[in-house]
A and B are shown apart, each in its own frame.
Chain A
């Protein structure tokens, strides 16, 4: 059963009392939150996700709520916890939905060592996975949103999961996080894109999340073959330049963008080098999304 098939009051009730259990890619996530903005966020953006059966194993038990009753009313704050552990300091109450997304990123990045976890967006077209590693501000999420709005399959906008066993990229499609100007850029590029409530004044500025396409959520258990490894860099006013990157340099750049490379040891090295061997590697400088979309679409044909 999909989340959207449940009555709204039942969803809210689950969130407040027993936890709402969703299947997100390879992970079963239980979310407990009495906060209205979190339930609204889930209703708008997670409607296509399957509800997990009661007896199924839960990978991540998460809670998003106020640290205390006082903090619900006086300078209201919100906390994220995972199995009773609080990885972050509290944030303003209005940032609860963004905190849920960041918290879930943290859970996956720190507890999924069956995968090499790369700080990268990943999309797929014609059976080819394009991986875009990059630091915040590199434009990877904007590029990812633009591609997904143009029919590419979303695997993830933030965490690329490469199996250390078979080298395939496993999806964990979730709402695409856009920041500041990117929100309006994607609205203009794709007026049909569903963007949840914008959360203002976060540490990263204004944050809006794009609902993942239904088809991408439906294919969330289907892995993809890595094909292109592209390091994007948004440079205002720049031409679109796709330059071949040597595999040795790509390997080192990729290592810098992995969350658990050191934890995986030699398995991490083998996984990274196999990924580089299986992929064409590029640096991409861009400012025009339309030009870049055409270029990447050509590359995927």
Chain B
């Protein structure tokens, strides 16, 4: 059985996103907080606001946009951001299993 990490916006529609050039502003109806997000974070929400995506697909997408010296830096940075946004309730990270 293989597992894939899936990333998506919460299904309840409580997250609203507005995109402006390389930044986005996100409103969380649960916390009533407004977040200004730039850089890699803005790209993450740009992608997942259209459809859910696996972690590896997201990493490949981000790699094509952001050129950094050490590739592992980008991967770590993206994972840290995913964790942070999940803690804030802005996105859902889940494990999907397929036989």
- Chain A residues close to B by CB (< 8 Å): 246-249, 251-252, 255, 262, 265-266, 269-270, 273, 277
- The minimal Cβ–Cβ distance linking A90 to chain B, given in whole angstroms, is 34
Asked if A246 meets B27 with Cβ closer than 8 Å, knowing A262-B32, A269-B34, the reply is no
Q: Lowest 3 A-B CB distances belong to which pairs?
A: A269-B27, A248-B23, A248-B20
Judge if B68 is at the interface, Cβ distance under 8 Å: no
Query: B20 to A247, Cβ gap below 8 A?
Result: yes
**Across the interface, which residues of B come within 8 angstroms of A277, CB to CB?**
18
The listed residue (B16, B23, B29) touching A246 by CB distance below 8 A is B23
Cβ contact within 8 Å between B25 and A248: yes
Q: In chain B, residues 32-47, which have Cβ atoms closer than 8 Å to a Cβ of chain A? A: 32, 34, 36, 38
**Looking at chain A's contact residues, is the secondary structure mostly helix, strand, loop, or mixed?**
helix
Across the interface, A252 reaches (CB within 8 A) one of B16, B25, B29, namely: B25
Question: Which residue of the partner chain B has the closest CB to A249?
Answer: B36
One of B18, B29, B32, B36 near A273 (C-beta < 8 A): B18
Kindly state the separation between the CA atoms of A252 and B21 in the bound complex, as whole angstroms. 15
* Size category of the binding interface on chain B: 10 to 19
Whole-angstrom distance from the CB of A108 to the nearest CB of chain B?
22
B74 within 8 A of A: no
Report yes or no: B34 in contact with A266, Cβ–Cβ below 8 A.
no
Q: Decide: A248 and B34 in contact? CB cutoff 8 A.
A: no
Q: Tell me the smallest distance from the CB of B28 to a CB of chain A, in Å.
A: 10
Q: Which residues from chain A contact B38 at a C-beta distance below 8 Å?
A: 248
- Minimum Cβ distance to chain B for residue A17 (Å): 45
- A255 to B25 alpha-carbon distance, docked (Å): 11
Further pairs besides A248-B24, A255-B34: 9, Cβ < 8 Å: A248-B38, A249-B36, A251-B18, A251-B25, A251-B36, A265-B29, A265-B32, A266-B16, A277-B18
With A and B bound together, what is the CA distance between A266 and B31 in angstroms?
A: 11
Cβ contact within 8 Å between B21 and A246 = yes
Inter-chain CA distance A252–B23, complex, in Å, is 12
Interface residue from A246, A255, A269, A270 paired with B20 (Cβ < 8 Å): A246
Chain B neighbourhood of A255, CB < 8 A: 34
In Å, the complex CA distance between A248 and B41 comes to: 14
Q: Are A269 and B36 in contact (CB under 8 A)?
A: no
Bound CA span A192–B85, Å: 57
Q: Which of A247, A249, A262, A270 contacts B16 (CB 8 A)?
A: A270
Contact call B23/A273, Cβ cutoff below 8 A = no
**Per-residue interface assignment for chain B, residues 1 to 37, with 1 indicating a CB less than 8 Å from any chain A CB and 0 otherwise:** 0000000000000001010110111010100101010
